[in-house]
Structure 1
Amino acid sequence: MQHTIFLAGAAGAIGRRLIPLLTGAGHRVIGTTRSPDRADALEAAGVRPVIVDVFDGQALTRAVREAAPSIIIHQLTDLSAGLDQDPEAARRANARLRREGTANLVTAALAAGTRRMVTQSIAWAYAPGATPYREEDPLDITAQGARGMTVNEGIVPLEHATLFTPGLEGIVLRYGQLYGPGTWSEKPEGASPLHVDAAAHAAFIAVERGAPGAYNIADDGGEADNAKAVSALGWSPGFRLEAVA
């Protein structure tokens, strides 16, 4: 079935790998960017670009209403401050985007009559305990400092808004540490690594598959158990764009 999809964060690392999957399946894609410089590249990729700031709730709602999507895919992050240059500022900005940006997207979705939303989260926010972590395990809400900012000021409100808003079918994809084209690393790193193509493919699958809830999206053998995504979504951590026929 072909859908109209509002892709928030279309110019990001995952968004760029997700676009050819969506357009190749015949979906109509409206993609957001804050940068006019990236609009032409989105258009060349078959996406109708929308320049909008997710923190401007009224403008975002207007954009989503105009697009009238059946599905919103939320791939927004904000690490523009640079984890190497100013890690505290980067974490604070990213947490704010997850908290306020997600709330604005949910408000816009309800205003536009959109009933399904797929949201990017992380697979390393679980409270310390026995591994591998499964989706029903608690998040680390007692964390302090930088981790507390990431989890409590970003991930917890992001997931709550996506999963517990009445009238919204919310899918949360808890991504592992990304590697591959356009990411921080070309090789697997971290406790639950994940190739960016496999991350994009999970979002593509979740357009039509999967009951509302959270899904760990990570390579086999890491701290985050991916069995639910494999069985319920039919997702494979080995997916690569180059393998698409």
Structure 2
Amino acid sequence: MTQTKIFLAGATGAIGSVLAPLLVDAGYAVYGSTRRAERAGVLEAQGVVPVVVDVLDAAALAPALKRIAPHAVIHQLTDLPRDLDPARMAEAVVRNARLRSEGTRNLVAAALAAGCQRLIAQSIAWAYAPGPKPWREEQPLDLTAEDPRGITVRGVAALEALTLDTPGLAGTVLRYGQLYGPGTSTATPRGTMPVHVEAAAWAALMAVQRDARGIYNIAEESPELSTDKARRELGWHAALRWPAEILQ
């Protein structure tokens, strides 16, 4: 039986490193991207085919996806410093916004050229404009925010528009809360809308399995954010975890 191919952009990141083996265990043939060749062995050990490529390099990305011809692309890329080092965050905000705008544009173009019409992309749940709470997916983003928040929100808006509004592409946006758990900057919940990294990975798998389209808030229950849609349409809940023995 032929396995369904998934291209996972950001396979060695916080969510990607959990999502990659989760997808493999679910029966998918996973091709995982990394910018660093020395990380290829980690992916291979998870049963993932490593693809050493930078999504900002459109000329290299396009032929890589054409060779793979994936059924779906999952975009879990970020460009943030280890432990969210405050001294490096100002520069990282700009890099991350570029990855969300230019990187997503390259991913979309390469996916469509490879015959792939399915994209699931990581976004954030704290980019909403001031308004009634809990925030729901149909509420607007804070596009008039001053920098540096404005830089982040504009990058998010570009990513979401490319994912959801590109002709010929069926898109899903997962608006994650503040990540915690293995591979993140904190082992315990932080922020007003935390989500465990393993629960975040489950949301991406469920979006693939259920062929879900549109925007979903993904976080633990809080007065700030409604996750009713994700629970109703994806069957997702914040207590989902990946079996500990698989992660060891």
User: TM class, shorter-chain normalised?
Assistant: over 0.9
SS in 2 for 1:38: helix
Whole-Å separation in 1 of the counterparts to 2:164 and 2:210: 16
How many aligned residue pairs are there? 244
Q: Where in structure 1 are there 5+ consecutive unaligned residues?
A: none
Match of 1:72 in 2: 73
Alignment of 1:51 with 2:52, yes or no, is yes
Q: Deviation per CA, 1:119-142, whole angstroms, max 9, x where unpaired?
A: 000000000111100000000001
CA drift of 1:221 comes to 1.9
Kindly provide the amino acid, as one letter, of the partner of residue 88 in structure 2: D
Query: Are 1:210 and 1:233, in contact at CA under 8 Å, matched by a contact in 2?
Result: no
The more displaced of 218-227 and 56-65 is: 218-227
Query: Are 1:210 and 1:232, in contact at CA under 8 Å, matched by a contact in 2?
Result: no
Whole-Å separation in 2 of the counterparts to 1:244 and 1:86: 34
Query: Are 2:192 and 2:222, in contact at CA under 8 Å, matched by a contact in 1?
Result: no
Q: Spell out the pairing of 1:139-218 with structure 2 (5 A cutoff).
A: 139-152=141-154, 154-218=155-219
Identity, in percent, stands at 56
Match of 2:14 in 1: 13
Query: Are 1:192 and 1:218, in contact at CA under 8 Å, matched by a contact in 2?
Result: yes
CA drift of 1:103 comes to 0.3
CA drift of 1:90 comes to 0.6
SS in 2 for 1:173: strand
Kindly provide the amino acid, as one letter, of the partner of residue 236 in structure 2: W
Match of 1:121 in 2: 123
Kindly provide the amino acid, as one letter, of the partner of residue 79 in structure 2: D
Kindly provide the amino acid, as one letter, of the partner of residue 175 in structure 2: R
Match of 1:90 in 2: 92
Q: Where in structure 2 are there 5+ consecutive unaligned residues?
A: none
Whole-Å separation in 1 of the counterparts to 2:89 and 2:223: 25
CA drift of 1:244 comes to 8.9
TM-score by length of 1: 0.96
SS in 1 for 2:224: coil
Whole-Å separation in 1 of the counterparts to 2:34 and 2:177: 24
Whole-Å separation in 2 of the counterparts to 1:4 and 1:146: 37
In 2 relative to 1, CA 67–85 (structure 1 residues): closer, same or farther, beyond 3 Å? same
Q: Deviation per CA, 1:143-191, whole angstroms, max 9, x where unpaired?
A: 0111001001x10100000000000000000000000011011111111
The alignment yields a C-alpha RMSD, in angstroms, of 1.6
Query: Are 1:2 and 1:25, in contact at CA under 8 Å, matched by a contact in 2?
Result: no
CA drift of 1:80 comes to 3.7
Query: Are 2:21 and 2:48, in contact at CA under 8 Å, matched by a contact in 1?
Result: no
SS in 2 for 1:135: coil
Kindly provide the amino acid, as one letter, of the partner of residue 164 in structure 2: L
Kindly provide the amino acid, as one letter, of the partner of residue 204 in structure 2: A
Query: Are 1:83 and 1:90, in contact at CA under 8 Å, matched by a contact in 2?
Result: no
Match of 1:240 in 2: 241
Query: Are 1:141 and 1:148, in contact at CA under 8 Å, matched by a contact in 2?
Result: yes
Query: Are 1:72 and 1:116, in contact at CA under 8 Å, matched by a contact in 2?
Result: yes
CA drift of 1:35 comes to 0.6
Whole-Å separation in 2 of the counterparts to 1:75 and 1:53: 13
CA drift of 1:242 comes to 2.5
Whole-Å separation in 2 of the counterparts to 1:147 and 1:191: 17
CA drift of 1:222 comes to 4.5
In 2 relative to 1, CA 11–222 (structure 1 residues): closer, same or farther, beyond 3 Å? farther
TM-score by length of 2: 0.95
